[in-house]
Amino acid sequence: MKGLQIERIGPADDFHFSFKGVVDPDGARKLDRLLLKCQGKSARRVRLDFSGVESVSSLGLSVLSRWGKVYEGTDRRIEMNGASAELRASLQSAGAIIYIANAPGSPPASAEAPKPRAAEPDSEKEHAHEKGTHEKGVPGPHTHEKRAHEKSEEPAREAPKPSDAPVGPEMASLQTKLKRKIVEFRNLFEITQALNLAQDLDEVMNLFGLSVMGQFGLERLALFLSDPDKDGHLIPRHVRGFPQHHFQDFVIPWTAFRRFGPDKAFMTLQELETKHTGSDELEALRETGFEWAVLLWVRRDLEGVLFVSGRGGGRKFTEDDRDLLTILAHQGAVAISNARVQRAQEERNLGLVRGMMALIESRDGYAKGSTERVVRYVSAVARLLDYPKEHLKSLVYGAVLRDIGMITVSGLILKNPAHLSEEEWGLIKQHPVRGEQILEEMNFPKEVIAIVLNHHERWGGEGYPNGIRGQEIPLGARIVSLVDAYVAMTSERPYRRALPYEKARQVIAENWGSPFDPSVIEIFLSVLDKIERRSRLRTGQPLTSGSAPAAGTAASPGSAAVTDHAVGAIDPLASGATIPGEGKGPDDSSGTTKSGPAVEANRT
């Protein structure tokens, strides 16, 4: 299904909009922002054309219902065209919404009274009359048989009807209430489902606040959460209907609520009045306009307090409203608690990652600062490749921890400027597996571990530790592999100097499809050029004359940017390093350079 598309019709001051697609949770937020802008521009009439809308989620219904109730009792209104019968029935309580596609005076589908029962056919009347005649004793054929048969059917035929059964308008009212309850519980189910799927704390709070305001037609809302860093006192975390920093530095002591237990959730601010600590803060909230408070309990712990006010038309909360809001608040409290636990875990992981990054760089002075460059390039490439948003953080962690297994390799090997033995090279090639083992013991996400294990695998299958190729290599590992190679080539090493940007770019471009993913190379080169150009402009360096060779195109034999000897002396698998052949020192350039085993990662 396509997302919601909004198109303006006519001039800007006409406030006429056409909708296409589905009003899913994202579409509901778009609709809410649109109506908020219209209200900010004092629109007296907002026209919404829903002819192209395929479906409306419960959150969308809540948004429409809320704005209808906000406009109720004013001279402003919302006109809807093309709304389905089900949508009209769900929004019938929002009096400021007018359905201009309907015939004037026609009631909503849900308010129709039950149709009167059709008259009985003549044959049934005659049959009833015949039965009545026999019951009065009028003789007829088979009289005794019929009487016996009638006695057997008498309990079913003469069952008394309840005298208090609703009829007419009363039945219509009950049907309307029943349909409204069904809609409310369906909304509650879908809101709960959306809250459970949301993982980020800010997303959970935004969804919870929008749902509460839409479901009950509120104009103002403030969510305060307990802060462990402030001894459990409550601080504002999400505010609607006020300026962004309206409650900045506002703190409510948790002791203001200590006389209440988990069995008490919904209350007025008058009930919270106390002579103890916190009374001044609560009085300030009352003066701001808040009327009700909902305590958010998780087990026996107070997770936070939700303050609300501003129901359209001065309406109060009925008993049913209080029950529904309490249920919704409980679901929101659980979702908020889960999101806060997850955020705390992510912050702990981030602290571990930072500590490990410092440990890795402390063992190799040449690697200092390279991690920031890798993360910057990896993040930019991932965004252009539409990398899954929910895995971006794992990708960054994997990029930072790619060489964590190197802590098991001797520093003498890493800093050795000379030839490596096969045994030393074998130790270096074990660092992805060692890194996998370390991160598994620390319960890092599997996406992070996959990047660390596979970031030395190559597109053509010539990498390590498992020699997998192509699409078998996770996309995150393919991105990190390419970026790591470039950063290593352009960084100083104990056995060579850093390569200039142009030469490193040339090497990447010439290795199109082997050892790197062609699609990643194309995106990376565009990112590289933009970042390099911006960096040179910022530092006042002259831009390179002419354009760098296109990806997948080798340099011509007479290329001035990279000589044949220079290109041949660079092994991209070694991130820019080569090992002299037997009998030659590292500085011996006589004859043709013979490449030995590639030395990668922190060794380069």
Which pLDDT score, from 0 to 100, does residue 422 have?
84
Instruction: Name which residue leads in pLDDT, 479 or 243.
Output: 479
Angle subtended by helix axes 169-197 and 58-71, to nearest 10: 120
Give pLDDT, residue 364: 66
The answer to whether 307 and 221 are in contact (CB under 8 A) is yes
For residue 121, the model assigns a pLDDT of 47
Which pLDDT belongs to residue 425?
82
In the chain, the amino acid numbered 370 is S
Across 32-99, the runs of DSSP E, i.e. the strands, are 45-56, 77-81, 97-99
The CA-CA-CA angle for residues 217, 220, 221, to 5°, reads 100
195 pLDDT exceeds 70?
Answer: yes
Identify the pLDDT of residue 278.
62
d(Cα 552, Cα 79) in Å, to the nearest integer? 57
Which has more pLDDT, 301 or 109? 301
Instruction: Kindly state the tokens that stand for 406.
Output: 């190197």
Please give the DSSP secondary-structure letter assigned to residue 255.
Answer: G
The answer to whether the CB of 17 falls within 8 A of the CB of 34 is yes
Q: What is the mean pLDDT of residues 300-315?
A: 85
> What does the pLDDT look like over 364-390, one tens digit per residue?
666 666 788 899 999 999 999 989 988
Cα–Cα distances in Å, from 383 out to 387, 388, 480, 516? 6, 9, 14, 18
The answer to whether residue 141 scores a pLDDT higher than 90 is no
As a whole-number percent, the residues of the chain with pLDDT over 70 amount to: 71
pLDDT-derived band at 282 (thresholds 50, 70, 90) equals: confident
pLDDT above 80: residue 596 = no
pLDDT of residue 197: 82
Give, in order, the Cα–Cα distances in Å from 125 to each of 119, 122, 140, 144, 159: 10, 5, 18, 22, 19
Question: Which of 31-40, 191-200, 255-264, 295-304 ranks highest by mean pLDDT?
Answer: 295-304
Q: Among 251-255, 441-445, 545-549, which is the least confidently predicted range?
A: 545-549
Would you give the end-to-end CA distance of the chain in angstroms?
49
Residue 21, Cβ density class (10 Å: 0-12 exposed, 13-18 middle, ≥19 buried): middle
CA torsion angle for 274, 278, 282, 283 (degrees, to 10)?
70
Cα–Cα distances in angstroms (integers) from residue 501 to residues 260, 565, 574, in the given order: 66, 17, 17
* Homologous superfamily of 181-342: GAF domain (3.30.450.40)
> Going by DSSP bridges, is the β-strand pair 220-226/234-240 parallel, antiparallel, or unpaired?
antiparallel
pLDDT tier, 165 (very low <50, low <70, confident <90, very high otherwise): low
d(CA 66, CA 211): 9
> What integer pLDDT is reported at residue 126 of this predicted model?
46
Indicate the CATH number of 364-603 among 1.10.286.10, 3.40.50.1000, 1.10.3210.10, 3.40.109.10.
1.10.3210.10
∠ Cα 162 166 168 (to 5°): 135
Cis previous bond, 236, omega within 30: no
pLDDT at 556 over 60: no
State how beta strands 16-23 and 45-56 pair: parallel
Topology (CATH) of 5-105: Transcription Regulator spoIIAA (3.30.750)
More reliable by pLDDT, 546 or 236? 236
pLDDT at 8 over 70: yes
pLDDT at 558: 33
SS3 content of the chain, % helix, strand, coil (to 5): 50, 10, 35
Higher pLDDT, 556 or 119: 119
pLDDT tens string 33-88:
888 888 778 788 899 999 889 888 878 887 888 787 777 767 788 888 888 877 77
Q: Which tokens sit at 273? A: 């009045």
Residues 6+ apart with CB under 8 A from 594: 580, 581, 582, 584
Comma-separated ranges of CATH 3.30.450.40 domains in the chain: 181-342
Residue 46 gets the label, from left (phi > 0), alpha (psi -120 to 50) or beta, of beta
Lookup: tokens for 565: 């000897």
- For the stretch 560-589, pLDDT in tens is 333 333 333 333 333 333 222 333 333 333
Q: How confident is the model at residue 92, as a pLDDT? A: 62
User: Is the pLDDT score of 549 beyond 60?
Assistant: no
Q: Which residues contact 152 (CB under 8 A, 6 or more apart)?
A: none
The model's confidence at residue 547, banded by pLDDT at 50, 70 and 90, is very low
Average pLDDT over all residues of the chain = 75
Q: Give me the phi and psi of 516, to 5 degrees please.
A: -110, 155
Q: Is the dihedral of CA 382, 386, 387, 388 positive or negative?
A: positive
Considering only CA atoms, give the Rg of the chain. Answer: 36
Q: For residue 94, what pLDDT band results from cuts at 50, 70 and 90? A: low
Mean pLDDT confidence for 377-404: 91
Q: What is the pLDDT of residue 571?
A: 34
Say which residue, 155 or 467, is predicted with more confidence: 467
Q: For 523-543, b where at least 16 C-beta lie within 10 A, e where not — what string?
A: bbbebbeeebeeeeeeeeeee
In the chain, list all ranges with CATH 1.10.3210.10: 364-603
pLDDT exceeds cutoff 50 at 488:
yes
| 182/392: higher pLDDT | 392
Q: Decide if pLDDT at 458 tops 70.
A: yes
Residue 524 has pLDDT above 90, yes or no: yes
Parallel/antiparallel/unpaired status of strands 97-99 and 77-81: parallel
Instruction: Check residues 493 and 567 and name the one with the higher pLDDT.
Output: 493
Q: With 50 as the cut, is the pLDDT of residue 117 above it?
A: no
Q: What is the pLDDT of residues 17-35, one digit of tens each?
A: 999 998 888 888 888 888 8
Q: Is the pLDDT of residue 500 over 80?
A: yes
Q: What is the pLDDT of residue 174?
A: 78
Residue ranges with strand state E in 166-300 = 220-226, 234-240, 266-268, 292-298
Whether the pLDDT of residue 260 is over 60: the answer is yes
